[in-house]
Amino acid sequence: MSDRVETRDHERRGQKLRGDTLKEVAQVFLLLGFVGFGGPAAHVALMRREIVQRRRWVEEKEFLEMYAACNLIPGPSSTELAIFLGYRRAGWRAMLLAGVLFILPAMLIMLGIAWAYTHYRSTTGASAIFYGLRPVIVAVILWALVDLAGRVLRRPLSVLISVGALGLAMLGVYPLLVLAAAAVAVLAAETSRKLPSSTAPALLPIGGYLLDAGWPELSRLPLVFLTFLKIGAISYGSGYVLLAFLHADFVANLHWLSDKQLLDAVALGQATPGPVFTTATFLGYLFAGLPGALLATIGIFLPGFVFVPFLQPLVRLARERSSVGSMLDGVNAGVLGLIAAVTLQIGRAAVVDLATVLIVVVSFAILRRWPLSSPALIAGGAGLGVLLRLVL
């Protein structure tokens, strides 16, 4: 009898401990979701301070290894790190809590902004704000491009692949196929043997030809979900490669967005806390209202929740097989070319006169000196846009 009582007491203590742990995970990542301005680099720094230094859930070395592992899979690396840290702390329940609560504040803020944007974007004030915001975002992307180039372009082969990816992207080749070609090119060069053509993924872009633009907005919902799910599953590399997929699908293919609207979405994603990928929330709202926003958000983040539990086997595979590492190197070089291409494409919509040229140059110089200053630059760009419209 006493053994059964002791067992029940032990189970209750275990349940209480798990409940306290889940509560702590929820509190930490909800807080990080509200204060996480500044993009992935700032998110990782905040998580390191909270998880490693203050709470000591993991050691410094393990934290860095976990972040490196998140860069091996598609999707937003800082969000996947939050999911991974939750999983490491207390299993799948904590994984879901960490990921959802890290995303939730930005999603709700973006919903409010999307509503305001649809109602007021054509006003004089909104036009002035985005006049100053757009060139700042071009500068942010340029800074990310230069930063990534410093880490990726360490040998002539990487330079050639990046230039080739830029050329293919400018010709209109879908980003996924560009990245597949980059991976195969590196693998072929390093193994000195020709790979069969079947190694290129067969997944093709979901096209505008699947949708009649005259249909009611709700008829877009399946396509909204599937397109963002696809983007979340294949947008490997820097977070800014998301732009290449958004541009290919929604600007060039479906024609649901203009270059200016895409820049506006990215600018607003940068100006809010949490993952930049909540740009999907904003775009989903533009495409199909509240249901579109929810489906777009679920679609783009869902792959991260699926991939993270398999990170440890993937890390072992990358360590054991040099061919996997080579292909990842090729993908990174291809990402660089894609970001360069989309910067050229959307830059034309943002840099329209001497004032916007100067905003790009000054913003880029500030970012080179203070890499985490993008939220302040975005606020400054918005104010400067209003000021310039008043005096010009």
Q: Rounded to whole angstroms, how far apart are CA atoms 235 and 265?
A: 17
What does DSSP assign to residue 58?
S
Select from 57, 93, 127, 77 the least CA-distant residue to 392: 127
pLDDT-flagged residues of the chain (< 70): 1-19, 38-39, 41, 190-217, 237-239, 315-325, 372
Query: Is-contact 270 39, C-beta < 8 A?
Result: yes
d(CA 45, CA 36): 10
List CB contacts of 282: < 8 A, sequence separation 6 or more.
110, 113, 114, 117, 265, 268, 269, 293
Q: How many CB atoms lie within 10 A of CB 74?
A: 19
DSSP state, residue 208: G
pLDDT value of residue 86:
94
User: Are the CB atoms for 336 and 114 separated by under 8 Å?
Assistant: no
Q: How far apart are CA 392 and CA 150, in angstroms?
A: 38
Predicted model pTM: 0.75
Contacts of residue 309, Cβ cutoff 8 Å, sequence gap at least 6: 87, 92, 95
Number of Cβ within 10 Å of residue 348's Cβ equals 11
